[in-house]
Amino acid sequence: MLAIRLQRVGRKGYPVYRLAVQEAQRHPSSGRIVTYVGTYNPHTKDSNVQVELAQKYLDNGAQPSPRVVKLLKDAGVKLPKWVKTADDSKSKAVRSPEKLRRNQPKEETPAEETAPEESAE
């Protein structure tokens, strides 16, 4: 079975990724690469995807990773029905909202009384 994954390339501290089609059972850094279907630069949010080639591998059953699903969807690749897409409508529940600073009663700071200035005559 094939997988479409991100493969890290680039220098230290500045990663750039390739969209690689490879065997799913292998580790991403050691598996035999079948082909590259695009690139992704997370710093500029620039992605280049070969749409026809990616579509071919998806139609033949290649499993994309969650991040690759998002990149393919943005590039305009028609995803099969069995591909799981991330649900963006989820909102994380706050465990104890009463402890949040914005939910605490506001402290009233006593206004400091200023003494009238004495003029030296």
The CATH number that applies at residue 53 is 3.30.1320.10
Note whether residue 68 is domain-resident: yes
d(CA 107, CA 110): 9
More confident residue, 93 or 45: 45
Q: State the burial class of residue 56 (Cβ atoms within 10 Å of its Cβ: 0-12, 13-18, 19+).
A: middle
pTM above 0.75, yes or no: no
Note whether residue 93 is domain-resident: no
Note whether residue 43 is domain-resident: yes
> Number of folded domains in the chain?
1
Confidence of residue 113 (pLDDT cuts 50, 70, 90): low
Residue found under tokens 């991403």: 28
d(CA 30, CA 64): 18
More confident residue, 87 or 15: 15
Residue range of the domain that includes 40:
2-75
| Mean pLDDT of the residues in the chain | 85
pLDDT digits (tens, 9 = 90+) for 53-88: 999 999 999 999 999 999 999 999 998 888 888 766
Evaluate whether 84 touches 73 at the Cβ level (below 8 Å). Answer: no
